[in-house]
């Protein structure tokens, strides 16, 4: 199948993928752009998985002040090289993460970073709520598990729906960015400040 340059350019502008990757995706999807985007996302996930073990010790501490100057965020976003840290794609990713933190006030980057005492407290609350439904134990366990999953989606940054595209999670955006820039990227510490409230942070304060 022949792929025209206009389709390649359009797909590249929508995904940020390389020219050859876009051509391959369009050929594999027989010109269906939506299918090509899905193909690139799946391929990006595979690429990102290979890069996830590589050391990321460069990067930036990005600051964001929300309009009105009542909420501010500092977030550490790391990559493998100083070169990538200065690129527009990496800078935009860091900005998007800071804006996400400002909007959603997560408790941690991921479930592993979440304080175990918080998780146990939530479990106990959900168990007490479920008992009031007078359901069998196996049903109650599923109810508690479902509520806990929702808690993780709300409280853990990587599990949250992206504020600019609710069909994707922050983990999806991270994976796509890794595939685009060609380096491992990690989200480190963050602090969120709001006038009149204490700051919230993950993995230590900045």
Question: Residues with Cβ < 8 Å from 27, sequence gap 6 or more?
Answer: 1, 3
Q: What is the pLDDT of residue 45?
A: 56
- Both tokens assigned to 122: 């939530």
pLDDT tens track for 54-106: 777 899 999 999 999 999 999 999 999 999 899 998 999 999 999 999 999 99
Most confident of 45-49, 94-98, 176-180: 94-98
pLDDT tens track for 111-148: 888 888 999 999 889 888 888 887 777 788 888 889 98
- Both tokens assigned to 16: 């940020």
Q: What is the pLDDT of residue 137?
A: 75
* Integer Cα distance of 64 and 117 in angstroms: 30
Average pLDDT, the chain: 85
* Integer Cα distance of 112 and 77 in angstroms: 18
């Amino acid at each position: 199948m022949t792929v025209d340059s206009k389709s390649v350019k359009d797909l590249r502008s929508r995904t940020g993928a390389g020219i050859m990757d876009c051509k391959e995706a369009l050929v594999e999807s027989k010109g269906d752009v939506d299918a090509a985007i899905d193909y690139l996302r799946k391929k990006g996930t595979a690429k990102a998985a290979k890069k996830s073990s590589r050391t990321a010790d460069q990067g930036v501490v990005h600051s964001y002040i929300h309009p009105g100057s009542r909420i501010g965020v500092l977030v550490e976003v790391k990559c493998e090289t100083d070169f990538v840290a200065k690129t527009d794609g990496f800078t935009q990713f860091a900005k998007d993460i800071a804006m996400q933190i400002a909007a959603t006030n997560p408790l941690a980057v991921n479930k592993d970073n979440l304080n175990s005492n918080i998780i146990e407290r939530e479990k106990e609350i959900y168990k007490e709520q479920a008992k009031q439904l007078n359901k069998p134990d196996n049903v109650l366990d599923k109810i508690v598990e479902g509520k806990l999953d929702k808690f993780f989606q709300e409280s853990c940054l990587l599990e949250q729906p992206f504020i600019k595209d609710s069909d994707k999670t922050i983990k999806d955006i991270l994976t796509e960015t890794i595939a685009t820039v060609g380096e491992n990227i990690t989200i480190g510490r963050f602090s969120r400040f709001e006038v009149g409230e204490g700051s919230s942070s993950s993995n230590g304060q900045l």
